[in-house]
Amino acid sequence: MGRIERLQSSYQSLDESFEIGKEMYRGQQYSQIYFARLHLMRTLLYSLVPLWKPNSPVCTVLGLEEGKECVIVGTLFKHMKLKPCILDEYSKERSVVPLVKPHNFVNQDDYLDLEDESGRVKLGGNIIVPSVYVTGIVVAIYGKETGAGDFLVHEVLEAGLPPQIEFPIKSREDRYVVLVSGISVGSSRSNPLQFQLLVDHITGHLGDEKEQSIASQIVRVVIAGNSVEMPRGLLNGQNLASKDLSRMAEPVKELDILLNQIAAALPLDIMPGPCDPANFALPQQALHRCLFPGSSVYNTFRSCTNPHCFELDGIRFLGTSGQNVDDLDKYSEAKDKLDFMERTLRWRHLAPTAPNTLGCYPYTDRDPFFIESCPHVYFVGNQDKYDTRVIKGSEGQSVRLVCVPKFSETGVAVMLNLRDLECHALSFGTQFSP
């Protein structure tokens, strides 16, 4: 029938560290994950400190001497006046100010503490700007203790970008990965026609031969969260009538049919997001296959965790559905979302605010959000607009950062070329006469 043959790429999932199946919950709280994080990163920083400040000793917090310049390594803790505290709900007198401000809790009075195993010390000085940092990052600080008991910061050392595997220089042909997020099937905002156009374009129904040949170069689709929006009005704590139950399941069924169309054509990865029927705490576990009876029978359908890490043709991808960056946005400031993404890479930690303000599983012996190997592509879903940038590391690492916008609001998906990591937007619109 003269159909074009679709290109294939080799795929390897690296999500094992994000799967919770083997973890045991024994009622533990979060000190252990912090300890694991500190231990992990401190070992790393100790190896970097001699190159950075070869002549300065490394001290513990309790071992600080006034006036002596040294290096201390520990976890940052940011005191924020406006950060909502559960105890406020129980306080006897409530102020007129509402309990929680929805957006940003940064205040000019915020200050940082550095905490290690022995103790904590307040960080002072102008070098370290609290609005850039958040609780949970492990850094090395060079400075000295002042008379007031603060630690005056001269310099800050972050872990930096992790080592990166070499970018495979393979073929000259274009292969594309489509990144999309925030489809929100079932929400009033989303236009199903738009997503259907995306599906038709990717699968090769729409478009002339030239367009279809571009579409045949798409080797994978990655859906980065918020694929479905369950009707919230039904969830009021009471038992659901059967007709309500079927109404609740409608969006997922619709999504299944749409994913069926994609899975029948090319490999598909679907990640859970904040609004999806998955667990709340990071790492979110893969959406259950039973939600997708039609799609999950395909060998191309893959339900993944959030965060999601995989290798495609030797190129390493790392991505989340947005929770890590959105949380950073609440507790710190930056020029744009790409800045937050860059910071997480330089801090070598995907979600430093977990478990402080971001729900997280209480790991006992490891911290899976520690980034061991630098990805080539780092994407974050459910953002307000499409944006992309390349950042460079001190050892020649190069990362393409991608903010994937919410499709239901923008109609924009992202096409990434595996040959050179160039991106372009794939947008859909309907323009009808009013």
Give SS3 for 125. coil
Contact string 358-397 vs another protein (x = CB under 8 A): -x-xx-x---------------------x-----------
Between CA 19 and CA 204, with CA 389 as vertex, the angle to 5 degrees is: 70
Site for another protein (CB under 8 A): how many residues?
116
Contact string 396-415 vs another protein (x = CB under 8 A): ----------------x--x
* Binding range to another protein, per CB under 8 A, among 44-52, 147-155, 339-347, 356-364: 356-364
Separation between Cα atoms, residue 207 and residue 186, nearest integer Å? 27
Give 32 or 56: the residue with its C-beta nearer to another protein. Answer: 32
Among residues 151, 318, 295, the alpha carbon closest in space to that of 227 is found at 295
Give 303 or 357: the residue with its C-beta nearer to another protein. Answer: 303
Q: What DSSP designation does 413 have? A: E
Give 127 or 264: the residue with its C-beta nearer to another protein. Answer: 264
User: Looking only at residues 255 through 314 of this chain, which bind another protein when binding is defined by CB under 8 A?
Assistant: 256-257, 260-261, 263-267, 277-281, 285-291, 293-294, 296-303, 311, 313-314
Separation between Cα atoms, residue 38 and residue 40, nearest integer Å? 5
Separation between Cα atoms, residue 412 and residue 392, nearest integer Å? 27
Closest contact distance (angstroms) between CB of 410 and another protein is: 11
Among residues 184, 180, 179, the alpha carbon closest in space to that of 252 is found at 184
User: Looking only at residues 122 through 141 of this chain, which bind another protein when binding is defined by CB under 8 A?
Assistant: none
Give the residue, chosen from 184, 187, 216, 383, that forms a contact with another protein under the rule CB under 8 A: 216
Closest contact distance (angstroms) between CB of 362 and another protein is: 5
Q: Does 168 bind another protein (CB under 8 A)?
A: yes
Give 242 or 394: the residue with its C-beta nearer to another protein. Answer: 242
Give 52 or 280: the residue with its C-beta nearer to another protein. Answer: 280
Contact string 30-69 vs another protein (x = CB under 8 A): -xx--x--------------------------x-------
Give the residue, chosen from 65, 117, 372, 420, that forms a contact with another protein under the rule CB under 8 A: 117
Alpha-carbon dihedral angle through residues 80, 83, 86, 87, given to the nearest 10 degrees: 50
Closest contact distance (angstroms) between CB of 378 and another protein is: 19
Closest contact distance (angstroms) between CB of 314 and another protein is: 5
Rg (CA), the chain: 24
* Binding range to another protein, per CB under 8 A, among 25-33, 44-52, 319-327, 336-344: 25-33
Cis ω before 307 (30° cut-off from 0): yes
Contact string 219-258 vs another protein (x = CB under 8 A): ---------------------x-x--xx-xx--xxx-xx-
Considering all CA atoms of the chain, what is the largest pairwise distance in Å, rounded to the nearest integer? 83
Asked if residues 288 and 303 have their Cβ atoms less than 8 Å apart, the reply is yes
Matching residue, tokens 């994080």: 37
Contact string 186-205 vs another protein (x = CB under 8 A): -----xxx--xx--xx-xxx
Among residues 164, 129, 163, the alpha carbon closest in space to that of 48 is found at 163
Matching residue, tokens 């290798």: 311
Give 56 or 60: the residue with its C-beta nearer to another protein. Answer: 60
H or E element in which residue 47 lies: helix 31-52
Do the bridges between strand 315-320 and strand 377-383 make them parallel or antiparallel, or are there none, so unpaired? parallel
User: Looking only at residues 66 through 105 of this chain, which bind another protein when binding is defined by CB under 8 A?
Assistant: none
Between CA 11 and CA 17, with CA 16 as vertex, the angle to 5 degrees is: 130
**Residues near 397 by Cβ (< 8 Å), separated by ≥ 6?**
161, 162, 163, 164, 374
Contact string 309-338 vs another protein (x = CB under 8 A): --x-xx------------------------
Among residues 389, 373, 355, 336, the alpha carbon closest in space to that of 135 is found at 355
Closest contact distance (angstroms) between CB of 169 and another protein is: 11
